[in-house]
């Protein structure tokens, strides 16, 4: 579980509801099913008009990544590439055919299969870069959908507020109900602005971070396989690809070697 996302939601809602309570307001005053229906229903409808069904399904599927962080072991991928490079250097690229068949990641497996088939590094790069661009475009569906929802939500909230005010104006004959009616009308605006800035837009941002990391791992794989096909020294491959791994993700021995190399260069 991504504790940052979960705690973020708890802190945001807690701060808003706590502030409401400190001001003497009640939870009931901001709990309006009608306003929620207008805001959420209107936003969902607008997003459905904007995006095709395939992108909406992808966005719903990616939504869980906001709260459940997919485990992508960059250091493990790097170590595996170095291991393949060492074996290929000793016995030839064909020797890793059985190992390549056991790789679960489709992108990694395809790149290794091309290498085993005797494809040149240039051709591998051309083929896999197409796969990379396609994956990037597909991954953009989730952030785009939630960004659009974050844009529509406040506007739909204003529509809800106006509808509420229209209802209030229709009942001017009873002044005792004006204050409560106006308060209820503005709850839709609160829902719209809150949903956009506490949920939809932050979710889009978190998905962009996840997608960027996934793309970095694909680039690491591509560079590693091409370097292996070119016959580069496994140690050189490890040093070259180390830049794709964040410092906190590196294994202690790798971090130590990296710092030692920097000190030697200085």
Residue 246 in any domain: the answer is: yes
pLDDT tens profile 75-131: 889 999 999 999 998 998 999 989 888 888 899 999 999 999 988 999 999 999 999
Residue 116 in any domain: the answer is: yes
Residue 8 in any domain: the answer is: no
What's the total number of domains in the chain? 1
The answer to whether the Cα torsion of 133, 136, 138, 144 is positive or negative is negative
Q: How would DSSP label each residue in the chain?
A: --HHHHHHHHHHHHHHHHHHHHTT--GGGG--HHHHHHHHHHHHHHHHHHS-HHHHHHHHHHGGGGTS-----HHHHHHHHHHHHHHHHHH-GGGGHHHHHT---HHHHHHHHHHHTT--HHHHHHHHHHHHHHHHHHHTHHHHHHHHHHHHHHHHHHHHHHHHHHHHHTTTT-GGGHHHHHHHHHHHHHHHHHHIIIIIHHHHHHHHHHHHHHHHHHHHHHHHHHHHHTT--HHHHHHHHGGGS-GGGS-HHHHHHHHHHHHHH-
Residue 4 in any domain: the answer is: no
pLDDT tens profile 158-168: 998 898 888 88
Report pLDDT for 260.
44
Residue 179 in any domain: the answer is: yes
Report pLDDT for 252.
53
Report pLDDT for 178.
72
Both tokens of 74, joined, read 């960059």
Report pLDDT for 244.
81
Residue 57 in any domain: the answer is: yes
Q: Which range marks the domain in which residue 102 is found? A: 33-255
Report pLDDT for 52.
93
Residue 25 in any domain: the answer is: no
Residue 89 in any domain: the answer is: yes
Report pLDDT for 16.
85
Q: Consecutive sets of 10 residues in the chain, 266 residues long: mean pLDDT of each? A: 85 86 78 88 95 92 85 84 92 90 90 92 93 90 94 93 84 72 82 93 93 91 93 90 73 49 36
């Amino acid at each position: 579980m991504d504790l940052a996302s979960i705690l973020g939601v708890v802190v945001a809602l807690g701060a808003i509801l706590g502030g409401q309570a400190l001001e003497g307001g009640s939870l009931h005053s901001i709990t309006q099913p009608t306003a929620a229906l207008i805001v959420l229903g209107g936003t969902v409808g607008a997003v459905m008009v904007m995006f095709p069904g395939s992108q909406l399904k992808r966005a719903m599927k990616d939504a869980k990544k906001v709260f459940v962080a997919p485990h992508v072991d960059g250091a493990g991928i790097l170590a595996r590439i170095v291991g393949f490079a060492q074996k290929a250097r000793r016995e030839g690229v064909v020797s890793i055919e059985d190992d390549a068949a056991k790789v679960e990641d489709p992108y990694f497996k395809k790149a290794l299969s091309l290498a085993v088939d005797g494809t040149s590094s240039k051709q591998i790069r051309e083929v896999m870069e197409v796969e990379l661009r396609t994956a990037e475009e597909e991954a953009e569906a989730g952030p785009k959908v939630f960004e659009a929802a974050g844009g529509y939500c406040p506007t739909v909230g204003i529509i809800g507020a106006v509808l509420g005010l229209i209802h209030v104006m229709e009942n001017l004959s009873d002044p005792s109900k004006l204050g409560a009616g106006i308060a209820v009308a503005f709850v839709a605006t609160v829902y719209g602005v809150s949903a956009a800035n506490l949920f939809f837009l932050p979710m889009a941002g978190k998905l962009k971070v996840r997608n960027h990391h996934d793309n970095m791992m694909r680039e690491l794989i591509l560079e590693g396989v091409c370097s292996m096909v070119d016959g580069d020294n496994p140690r050189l491959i490890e040093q070259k690809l180390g830049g794709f791994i964040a410092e906190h993700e590196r294994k202690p021995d790798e971090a130590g070697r990296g710092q030692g190399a920097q000190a030697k260069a200085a």
